[in-house]
Amino acid sequence: MVTIQDVAKAAGVSPMTVSNVINEREHVRDSTRAKVLDAMERLDYRVNVAARNLRTGRTGTIGLAVPEIDRPYYGVLAAAIMKAAEAKSLRVVVEQTERSRENELDALTLSRNRLYDGLILSTVGLGPADADLLRVDYPIVLLGERIFAGPADHVAMPNVEGARAAVEHLIARGSRRIAIVEGDPTEDLNVSSLRNQGYREALAAAGIAFEDEWVVPIGEFSLEAGVQAVQRLAERGMAVDGIFCVTDTVATGVLRGLADHGIPVPGQVRVIGFDDVPGSAYTVPSLSSVDPDHDFMARTAVDLLVRRIEGNADKAVHRDVIGPFRVVERESSGG
């Protein structure tokens, strides 16, 4: 192992000067710098990050805890966050929480073991009742739709507005009886209930009286759950001409289910999702969706975290940022 000492010896300078060169500090004569760089090259020197971390107390790494990296939405999110982090010279460690409240808390605890300078935590298991557990003296940023005005910076999607715009789009295209495929309604605040709110606002604004049978609750936001939601609607006589799905993954399953039942889309039923994941432009029919601007969310989350890490943020004040969105009209809504 080649150390700074070795380089210093080879270059005929002190270890401190080598350190100054490595960290691109000023007050190093060009000729000295050249000598050092040459020695580093010759010896194939590499910094020992562990030693630097120990000394500085910083790791140059942030954690990202997501439910499942192999879900398209989280893949897109993770890619965007890595890109945003790279722009700040930060590495990203991805942890999977498998949608469990416990694992999300574990991620928080583990992270505090000084492994990362901060943590971006995408919560789906933790709910509003757990907000106090997030009151930690450690830089974190929350992503997700379940905890608002909590004790941490938070970036959320434009759930209400986006959902409302999506349903208004279905109405504009001619739908009048619009189903919503959404999450477990027993949870008090989650991505579903906010999107449900937007859904109802859109109906109300159009003077459409909401009917209970339009609601199809599902247990998880998966492809299979989408298929089963259609089955449920079919059992109720498929008395709808529009379906708003809580995520694109669910919507893709819904498209599949509608195909199973031979129901034309958008001919008989219009469909729209939420997230605008890459695959949505290529389903058959292609899926209309709400694009929440993943890059904006990623950039904002990383920026907020860096502010905390660098101590440039008021410990008592926490930001709640909601991103922009746009409705992407494709075949499934007759767009």
Partner DNA sequence: ATGAAAGCGCTAACAA
Partner DNA sequence: TTGTTAGCGCTTTCAT
Contact yes or no for 263/269 (Cβ under 8 A): yes
- Which CB, 103 or 175, lies closer to a second copy? 103
**Closest to 61 measured CA to CA, from 138, 139, 122, 116:** 116
Contact yes or no for 66/94 (Cβ under 8 A): yes
**Cβ of residue 152: shortest distance to DNA, in angstroms?**
25
**Cβ of residue 133: shortest distance to a second copy, in angstroms?**
14
Residue 273 CA to residue 263 CA, distance in Å, equals 18
- Which CB, 171 or 227, lies closer to a second copy? 227
Choices 14-22, 115-123, 213-221, 225-233 (CB under 7 A): range interacting with DNA:
14-22
Does position 309 interact with DNA (CB under 7 A)? The reply is no
Among DNA, a second copy, none, the one that 76 touches (CB under a kind-dependent 5 to 8 A) is: a second copy
Does position 197 interact with DNA (CB under 7 A)? The reply is no
**Beta strand extents in the chain (DSSP E only):** 61-66, 91-96, 118-122, 140-143, 153-156, 178-182, 215-217, 242-245, 270-272, 289-291, 320-322, 326-328
Give the β-pairing of 215-217 and 61-66.
unpaired
- Which CB, 41 or 260, lies closer to DNA? 41
**Cβ of residue 112: shortest distance to DNA, in angstroms?**
13
- Residue from 29, 44, 312, 314 that binds DNA (CB under 7 A)? 29
**Cβ of residue 102: shortest distance to DNA, in angstroms?**
25
* Token duo for residue 254: 């819904």
Does position 192 interact with DNA (CB under 7 A)? The reply is no
**Closest to 124 measured CA to CA, from 100, 149, 157:** 100
Does position 37 interact with DNA (CB under 7 A)? The reply is no
**Closest to 156 measured CA to CA, from 121, 184, 181:** 121
- Binding residue count for DNA, defined by CB under 7 A: 27
Does position 239 interact with DNA (CB under 7 A)? The reply is no
Query: What's the number of CA atoms in the CB half-sphere (13 Å) around residue 289?
Result: 26
In this structure, what DSSP letter does residue 219 have? Answer: S
Residue 97 CA to residue 30 CA, distance in Å, equals 50
Among DNA, a second copy, none, the one that 197 touches (CB under a kind-dependent 5 to 8 A) is: none
Among DNA, a second copy, none, the one that 28 touches (CB under a kind-dependent 5 to 8 A) is: DNA
Contact yes or no for 145/128 (Cβ under 8 A): no
Among DNA, a second copy, none, the one that 317 touches (CB under a kind-dependent 5 to 8 A) is: none
Sign of the Cα torsion 143, 146, 149, 151 reads: negative
Among a second copy, DNA, none, the one that 132 touches (CB under a kind-dependent 5 to 8 A) is: none
Sign of the Cα torsion 154, 161, 252, 256 reads: positive
Does position 32 interact with DNA (CB under 7 A)? The reply is yes
Site string for DNA, 38-77 (x = CB under 7 A): ---------xx--xx-xxx---------------------
- Which CB, 22 or 321, lies closer to DNA? 22
**Cβ of residue 51: shortest distance to DNA, in angstroms?**
3
Contact yes or no for 115/57 (Cβ under 8 A): no
Does position 19 interact with DNA (CB under 7 A)? The reply is yes
**Cβ of residue 89: shortest distance to a second copy, in angstroms?**
12
201's enclosing H/E stretch is helix 191-205
Among DNA, a second copy, none, the one that 278 touches (CB under a kind-dependent 5 to 8 A) is: a second copy
Q: Which residues bind DNA (CB under 7 A)?
A: 1, 3-5, 12-17, 19-20, 22-23, 26-29, 31-32, 47-48, 51-52, 54-56
